[in-house]
Amino acid sequence: MSTPDDARELDEQVATRSEPLPEEVAAGDVGDRAPEAAAILRDSEERVAEAVEGNAPGDAADEHRPSGEGV
């Protein structure tokens, strides 16, 4: 369950990750990135939680696919 501290931490992470890079500013690409940053952070947290719970592999190495099934 989410707490006010969790929400505040997410807001702080969104603020730092939605700040455009200097080269993006120079190119004129400075639109509002906060919604996209928030969505990326939420997806990341969900993947981490699933990996911790054992519902999803932590990385591709944990999938244990035969080499013939690789990309």
- pLDDT of res. 15: 86
Residues for the chain: how many in total? 71
Give the tens place of pLDDT for each residue, 2-44. 577 777 888 888 888 888 888 988 888 778 888 888 998 889 8
Is 49's pLDDT higher than 60?
A: yes
- pLDDT of res. 62: 54
Whether the model clears a pTM of 0.75, i.e. scores above it, the answer is: no
> Would you say the C-alpha torsion 34, 40, 46, 48 has a positive or negative sign?
negative
Distance separating alpha carbons of residues 43 and 51, to the nearest angstrom: 12
Cα→Cα distances 26→15, 16, 22, 35, 41, Å:
20, 18, 6, 22, 26
**55 against 61, higher pLDDT:** 55
- pLDDT of res. 46: 87
